[in-house]
Amino acid sequence: MSEYKNFTEIMLKIKEDYPNLSKGNKRIADFILNKYEKAAFMTAASLGEAVGVSEATVVRFANYLGFNGYPRFKKVLQEMIKTKLTTTQRIDMSLDKFDEEHLLNDILTADIDNIRYTLDEFDKDRFQKVIDLIVNAQTVYIVGFRTTSLLTEFLGYYLDLLLNQVKVIDSKVGDIYEQIIHAKPGDVVIGISFPRYSSKTYESMKFLKERGLKVVAITDNEMSPITRISDYYLIAKSNIISFVDTITAPMSLMNAIIVAVGLRNREKTKEIFNELEEIWAEHYIYDNSQS
């Protein structure tokens, strides 16, 4: 497959070759250029029907662009356009894709598929190397803004219990760079970013990499901006086109990281939570009236 780094490169390829395309391929090209957000979720047959060409012609067009079949073209296009879709476009697509009667089933099924895909494509060796970096780091910085701040807070809360030297960068507290000015080689930064990718997350990670930190990216695909500046990356699928971002598979990955870190030093982890249990009991943190 031709290596397209971003959505724009695919569109440029189509535009550059447009004068030399056949009449049928020009129809396909016109549709993709003008309605890419719809084309990315259509089958070859439905796209062919929409523009008046055969399914085989659509497949050959994908091959012409350098993709190994139409499904691969469709998948890559879906991944790339997630960064292009505005909230309004996402709402329109949600109306087209979901109906109220089957909404719960469709959303839960999509989340199940995201977890299943994450597991099927998971690189276990890379995961273990990431855990090595985390447990051996002097300080762990966690960066992620907007919707992903839910993930950074969750991951940071538990890692700080287990490791102590963990700092979640908060975009609401002063200047970001003031919070990471003491970062140094031997530290690790975990950056979390999902569509629509936060430029602030990318810039913070880039700054820390330039200061000599090892960089771990947690994102939805290999073409994400933060994978390009990472030493290691972990993928969690987030593939629901809606005005609400899904974090189901990413949250499962956070759970796995936390448990893996805890298991690296089981005795220390037990000591920490035994002490916490005593504190919780002493200060009546939990309601034990039913026990």
Q: Is the pLDDT of residue 1 over 50?
A: no
Confirm whether 86 is domain-assigned.
no
Strand partners for 235: 219
| pLDDT score of 41 | 81
Domain of 253, CATH number, reads 3.40.50.10490
Q: What is the mean pLDDT of residues 93-102?
A: 62
Confirm whether 96 is domain-assigned.
no
Separation CA 248–CA 150 (nearest Å): 11
167 and 214 assigned to the same domain: yes
Separation CA 199–CA 222 (nearest Å): 17
Q: Is the pLDDT of residue 174 over 80?
A: no
Distances, alpha carbon 158 to alpha carbons 76, 83, 164, in Å? 34, 30, 9
Q: Is the pLDDT of residue 96 over 60?
A: no
Q: What is the mean pLDDT of residues 121-129?
A: 95
**Sign of the CA dihedral with 69 first, then 75, 78, and 80 last:** negative
236 and 156 assigned to the same domain: yes
Overall number of domains in the chain? 2
The model's pLDDT over 193-213, given as tens digits with 9 standing for 90+, comes to 998 788 999 999 999 999 999
| pLDDT score of 91 | 57
Percent of the chain scoring above 70 in pLDDT: 87
Q: Is the pLDDT of residue 175 over 80?
A: yes
140 and 269 assigned to the same domain: yes
Separation CA 286–CA 48 (nearest Å): 60
Domain of 13, CATH number, reads 1.10.10.10
Q: Is the pLDDT of residue 222 over 90?
A: no
Confirm whether 91 is domain-assigned.
no
Please tell me whether the peptide bond between 196 and the residue prior to it is cis, using omega within 30 degrees of 0.
Answer: yes
129 and 63 assigned to the same domain: no
74 and 127 assigned to the same domain: no
On whether the CB atoms of residues 218 and 224 are closer than 8 A, the answer is: no
The model's pLDDT over 102-115, given as tens digits with 9 standing for 90+, comes to 788 888 988 998 89
The model's pLDDT over 20-65, given as tens digits with 9 standing for 90+, comes to 999 999 999 999 988 887 888 889 999 999 999 999 999 999 999 9
| pLDDT score of 290 | 67
| DSSP code at position 218 | E
75 and 149 assigned to the same domain: no
33 and 142 assigned to the same domain: no
On whether the CB atoms of residues 183 and 141 are closer than 8 A, the answer is: yes
Confirm whether 176 is domain-assigned.
yes
Q: What is the mean pLDDT of residues 238-257?
A: 83
Q: Which domain holds residue 48?
A: 7-81
Q: Is the pLDDT of residue 86 over 80?
A: no
The model's pLDDT over 4-29, given as tens digits with 9 standing for 90+, comes to 766 678 888 998 999 999 999 999 99
Confirm whether 268 is domain-assigned.
yes
132 and 62 assigned to the same domain: no
